[in-house]
Amino acid sequence: MALFYHFQPHAYTVSMDFSTRYANLNANQRSAVDKIHGPLLVIAGPGTGKTELLSMRAAHILRQTDTLPSNILCLTFTDSGAVNMRQRLQQIIGEDAYKVAIHTFHSFGSEIINTNRQYFFHGADRQPTDELTQQQILQEIFEAMSWDNPLNVKNNDEFIYLKETLKTISAFKSNGLTSEEIQHILDDVERTITEISEAITQLFQTTIKKSTIPAFANVAEIAASITPQPLPAAITPYANVLALSMANAAQEALENDSTKPITAWKNAWCKKNATGGFVLKDSESITKLRAVTHVYDQYRSALAQRGLFDYDDMILNVLDACKHQPDLRANLQEQYQFIMVDEFQDTNLAQLQLLFNLTGDEPEPNIMAVGDDDQAIFSFQGANVGNIQRFRQHYHDPAVIVLTDNYRSAEQILTTARSVITQGSDRLENTIPDLSKQLTPHASSSDATVKLSRFMTLLDERAGVAKQIAELIASGTPPEEIAVISRRHHELIELLPHLYQNNISVNYEHHDDILELDSIKALELLARIVISLHNNDLTTANSLLPELLAHPAFGFAATDIWKLSLAAWCNRQFWLEAMLAQTTFEPLAQWLLGQAKNVPNLTLEEHIDELLGLTETATNRSLYTYYFSPEKLQSDPEAYLTTLEALRTLRQKLRDHYTEATPTLTQLLQFIDLHHLTKTRLTSIRPAAEHKSGSINLMTAHKSKGLEFSHVFIIGATDNIWGEKVRARSRLIRYPANLQLQPAGNNYDERLRLFFVAMTRAKQTLHLSHSLTDTGGKDNLIASFLSSLELETSTIETPEATDATESLLTDWRAKLTEPHDGVLQEVLAPILQHYKLSATHLNNFLDVSHGGPQGFLLNNLLHFPQAKSPSAAYGTAVHACLQQLHDIFVADGKLPPRPEIMRLYAQTLAAQHLSPDDTKLFTEKGQSVLTAFLDAKQSSFTQQQLTELSFANQNAFIGQAHLTGSLDLVDVDKTEKTIYVTDYKTGKPSHSWKGTSDYEKIKLHKYRQQLMFYQLLVKSSRDYGNFTFTGACLQFVEPDIKTGDILSLEDTFSEEELAEFARLVGIVWRKITTLDLPDVSGYSADYKGMLQFEKDLLTGDI
């Protein structure tokens, strides 16, 4: 780099402290400080004093050259790291430390943009966006998608690809790739797959055998012969990656005379298509990724229109400007003549490209990178440990200095930690000849220990670790010198109650979502009811009032709420109407109506105060008395202050988000909805406090980076948490083999590094622990990388360990489903006297994932109102339209013209009263779905079919159980006395009865039981009991997203299975009619829990 400023050396006063500090450096540190010219790679292990090194080197540059402080650039990864570096530098060189450019990468990008606006956004002023706005923009893009877009897939009314799309866009940006470049890469992949696909399919048409080996090698040669296309830097052509993988498999197969390598390659690279032929898996990723690139363009355009840029843009925009604005690139190269980068292992490819731009074509640039491949643990944020090697390659084997003197940990700890980390494969010691990272301890080892404790159960481990910590504190150890480190937050959360039982105070910086606080949820609930009433949306208000009345702040008895619900149901009233007619509830109903009337007249601030009763003039102060009264402050000051802080945060975040106008009560709900919809946490704006003395420290291994403690406990050291048996999360959006942008954070090497980081936080003692069994009683194996170590091990039994975990949140329904000494029987007697069991009621009773018997009580017996989701409303509209079409066909022998069918569908959809956006979406979707369905199934319509066949008056009994139901479509042959049942389903079609997700398994299990119920219903009915039940099927209305086929699922049931199911129906009937509603809180709220509940009902264990 050329020097443009000419001053005499030593022009900047350097504190006398420099000489003292310099003398205290070890030989390798001094070497790194002294080598100020040319590229330098410093490999700094844990506890080796790299922060001091960076500060001293900056001071040394000022001492030895005529460089201005502003010509030195120091880059790190955290704000705290930048502050720490500046503070150290200030101690050495005084006020000039504030002139040195010390930044995080992103603050540096922001600084470049702010000081060089003429090169960015055509000179327009843009502001950084927040996470919520990012999610909001993506939400709007997804809502505007055509229904057949591969990314437009919903589950429980949530776009399942939305968050993954944002992560993918972030990955593109952090790797410095534009949407155009991604399209070029995908073109290359698609072209290669097109050229090779026929050969792949033919190759695996038959079973793999010895003769497949030469044929496989021939296909590998075909792949190698495909001409590569020019691609962005660091991206290898797909054909090269494919050919190399095949060549390696072919070579291994030939050398070992075995087909196993080819089978392994096929399993890794291929899948069966719809016709049963094998194709490359990457073929299916192309369509989704192309859709993502279109979203990428729309997203960046939306940011620009709003005058915003996001976190990743700070680097990407600078790279783009450097590429197209040579003046800017030259100015930056002149400005920053000495560059130092801390935590280099955490850089991503875009950040690396930025460094390359800053150093330009200078053959020997003055750049130092400090990092440690063994501490590369942030790949989930886009970090790429391979950048250390790229640094060496780009700067042509720069000088390498290794810091190995450790001033933190005792010898025993370092020895154990090295035994762990050397089991990794992706390490510099394995690739750089003669490189040794063996750490030399300089800390006292007199009382140092490394211990492994084994406990019988997870509960024992939590209780045992808490006891060990209590004993350590009792022996005189300062609590702030103790840390408990885990891989994940939930392991720490489950430990907390046991620590509290031992009166151990904790520092734990895990910020809760304030929107989940009971007080904020109560405010939200009130606001929703008020806005619904203001909009005359009594249906929505109806679905929300039960939760409000059950809130303890209002003090209503459960029996009064039951009676209110039944009165509203019997009189076909909305709850608000019933409330106005009862003296118990009438004052609250009038207050709610008054609040609804006030919506246009109050600001949001005023309305929040009114709803919470925070002003003296408030007419209802129920929530104030419950959350903010002086008595609450006295009895639970922590909860009181938490609620106040949450309310302050909510107000401030609303002001920040709605900057152009005073927010309204409606916007409060939109703000909350957006957080819920995008799963964006809203955390307290209060800054994290310094770790207070007298408290131990709880943190994840990622959070522990850069910290040190005398005593460290690493919990849950099992193979399924840290080791080889960790299940990798499957990606919804996959990258082709030559575009490996996904983080490697869940691979074995990174987990090994993460454990190494946790271990090397310890100065004096290191306590490792694990349980021998998990919560389900299955055996737990110790993490594989610990199994071969010789550790001081003890097996500890804690015979009376009890689960101290308490639920911090109680569902509002609990109050309404608790036993009430026969009052419930009295209230429900008229209902139960004429009760009939339907398939829906049976499934609701059994579905422990949605409350089981307790949910059934509220929704199906007490008839608490429920809101209908847009997807459910769409399903109702499609069912209604199909029913009308069948009725028309029965009457006329033909269906009406398609335009008339679409008009009928529009009418049935309009009856659902959806929002304009949902109406537009489901109009388009319904028309497309009905067109595809009728094209495939119109020929199956007959004049003998019956629709919505009701069995309400068929006197269908199974033992004492009185059954009822309404069947979508029934084919009745009165001559042959046969009956066949079809049940229409509008959700995602299934190819088999085996679901992949837990949600799907529960859904399909309930569908199957529904068909069995229909068979019992028909066989026990008055008019159809003598008919032969020839079968039943689920008929999916929507086409399969991949093949476009209209699918159906059919099943037959053995006599034994039907008999057992009939017995289950009888048991559930007795439970319902006697109000013997089992408590299912002990069952897991999933498919496994549902099956176990059914089993226990059949065996009489509950």
Q: Do residues 34 and 118 touch, judged by C-beta distance below 8 A? A: no
Among all chains, which residue has been given the structure tokens 């097996």?
795
Q: Which two tokens stand for residue 205?
A: 């048409």
**Four-point Cα dihedral 703, 705, 710, 715, nearest 10:** 50
CA angle 137, 141, 146 (to 5 degrees): 170
Distance CA 402, CA 371 (A): 10
Cα-Cα-Cα-Cα dihedral sign, residues 501, 502, 504, 508: negative
Which is more confident, 122 or 356?
A: 356
Give φ, ψ of 5 to 5 degrees.
-120, 130
Packing angle of the helix pair 637-657, 665-678 (nearest 10 deg): 100
Strand boundaries in 634-752, DSSP class E: 696-700, 709-714
CB-based contacts of 574: which residues, under 8 Å, 6+ apart?
A: 538, 539, 541, 542, 568
What is the arithmetic mean of pLDDT over 219-228? Answer: 89
Please compute Rg for the chain using Cα positions.
Answer: 34
What is the full DSSP assignment across 806-844?
A: --S---TTHHHHS--TTHHHHHHHHHHHT--B-HHHHHH
Q: Do residues 99 and 74 touch, judged by C-beta distance below 8 A? A: no
Q: Which two tokens stand for residue 740?
A: 């490996």
What is the arithmetic mean of pLDDT over 388-402? Answer: 91
Which is more confident, 1053 or 3?
A: 1053
The answer regarding whether domain 441-509+694-728+743-796 maps to CATH 3.40.50.300 reads: yes
Neighbours of 304 (CB within 10 A): 15
Q: Which two tokens stand for residue 800?
A: 């009376």
Distance CA 538, CA 533 (A): 6
Q: Do residues 457 and 801 touch, judged by C-beta distance below 8 A? A: yes
For residue 977, pLDDT beyond 90: yes
For residue 6, pLDDT beyond 70: no
Packing angle of the helix pair 518-534, 604-612 (nearest 10 deg): 110
Q: Do residues 243 and 218 touch, judged by C-beta distance below 8 A? A: no
Q: Do residues 623 and 523 touch, judged by C-beta distance below 8 A? A: yes
Pick from 129, 441, 62, 115: nearest CA to 310? 129
Could you list the residues known to form a binding site for ATP, using ranges.
44-51
Q: Which two tokens stand for residue 478?
A: 């300062």
Neighbours of 837 (CB within 10 A): 24
Among all chains, which residue has been given the structure tokens 């534009």?
178
Three-state SS letters, 214-228: HHHHHHHHHHHHCCC
What is the arithmetic mean of pLDDT over 392-405? Answer: 92
For residue 15, pLDDT beyond 70: no
For residue 5, pLDDT beyond 50: no
Q: Do residues 375 and 759 touch, judged by C-beta distance below 8 A? A: no
The answer regarding whether domain 17-127+310-403 maps to CATH 3.40.50.300 reads: yes
Q: Which two tokens stand for residue 552?
A: 């303890």
Which secondary structure element, helix H or strand E, spans residue 405, and what is its range?
Answer: strand 405-406
Q: What is the reported pLDDT for 10? A: 42
* Amino acid at site 290: R
For residue 1054, pLDDT beyond 50: yes
Q: Do residues 525 and 663 touch, judged by C-beta distance below 8 A? A: no
Q: Do residues 546 and 859 touch, judged by C-beta distance below 8 A? A: no
For residue 494, pLDDT beyond 70: yes
Query: Measured between alpha carbons, how far apart are the two ends of the chain, in Å?
Result: 79
What is the full DSSP assignment across 359-378?
A: HTT-SS--EEEEE-GGG---
Pick from 979, 993, 988: nearest CA to 1032? 979
Computed over every residue of the chain, the mean pLDDT equals 88
CB-based contacts of 276: which residues, under 8 Å, 6+ apart?
A: none
What is the arithmetic mean of pLDDT over 766-789? Answer: 88
CA dist 517 → 232, 506, 642, 675, 788 (Å) = 48, 21, 9, 14, 46
Pick from 653, 684, 685: nearest CA to 667? 653
Q: Which two tokens stand for residue 629?
A: 């009264």
Pairing mode of beta strands 367-371, 338-341: parallel
CA dist 531 → 541, 599, 623 (Å) = 9, 8, 18
Q: How confident is the model at residue 4 (pLDDT cuts 50, 70, 90)?
A: very low
Pick from 196, 199, 189, 192: nearest CA to 287? 189
* Amino acid at site 377: I
pLDDT digits (tens, 9 = 90+) for 199-209: 999 999 888 99
Distance CA 334, CA 358 (A): 9
Q: What is the reported pLDDT for 792? A: 84
Neighbours of 898 (CB within 10 A): 13
Q: Which two tokens stand for residue 986?
A: 């509008």
CB-based contacts of 892: which residues, under 8 Å, 6+ apart?
A: none
Distance CA 989, CA 936 (A): 15
Q: For a pLDDT cut of 90, what percent of the chain falls above it?
A: 57
pLDDT digits (tens, 9 = 90+) for 403-444: 999 999 999 999 999 999 999 988 999 888 889 999 999 988
Pick from 137, 139, 165: nearest CA to 734? 165
Pick from 325, 307, 252, 345: nearest CA to 44? 345
- 342 three-state secondary structure: coil
Which secondary structure element, helix H or strand E, spans residue 984, and what is its range?
Answer: strand 978-985
Q: Which two tokens stand for residue 893?
A: 């022998």
CA dist 587 → 540, 556, 580 (Å) = 20, 12, 8
Q: How confident is the model at residue 683 (pLDDT cuts 50, 70, 90)?
A: confident
Which is more confident, 775 or 630?
A: 630
According to DSSP, the residues that pair with 75 across neighbouring strands are 103, 341
Distance CA 300, CA 293 (A): 11
According to DSSP, the residues that pair with 76 across neighbouring strands are 104
Maximum Cα–Cα distance for the chain, whole Å? 111
Among all chains, which residue has been given the structure tokens 């290359």?
188
Distance CA 1013, CA 1060 (A): 12
pLDDT digits (tens, 9 = 90+) for 153-200: 887 778 889 989 998 998 898 888 889 999 999 999 999 999 999 999
Q: Do residues 274 and 117 touch, judged by C-beta distance below 8 A? A: no
What is the arithmetic mean of pLDDT over 638-665? Answer: 83
- 452 three-state secondary structure: strand
**Four-point Cα dihedral 153, 156, 157, 163, nearest 10:** -60
Q: How confident is the model at residue 687 (pLDDT cuts 50, 70, 90)?
A: very low
Q: What is the reported pLDDT for 11? A: 42
Distance CA 761, CA 777 (A): 32
Distance CA 577, CA 579 (A): 5
Rounded to the nearest angstrom, the gap between the alpha carbon of residue 952 and the centroid of all alpha carbons in its chain is 45
Q: Domain locations in the chain?
A: 17-127+310-403, 131-305, 441-509+694-728+743-796, 514-678, 931-1099
Q: What is the pTM of this model?
A: 0.69
Could you list the residues known to form a binding site, using ranges.
44-51
What is the arithmetic mean of pLDDT over 974-984? Answer: 95
Q: Which two tokens stand for residue 427?
A: 């390490």
Give φ, ψ of 405 to 5 degrees.
-85, 115
pLDDT digits (tens, 9 = 90+) for 805-830: 433 334 566 666 765 557 788 888 88
What is the full DSSP assignment across 21-62?
A: HHHHS-HHHHHHHH--SS-EEEEE-TTS-HHHHHHHHHHHHH
Q: What is the reported pLDDT for 814? A: 67
Distance CA 790, CA 161 (A): 46
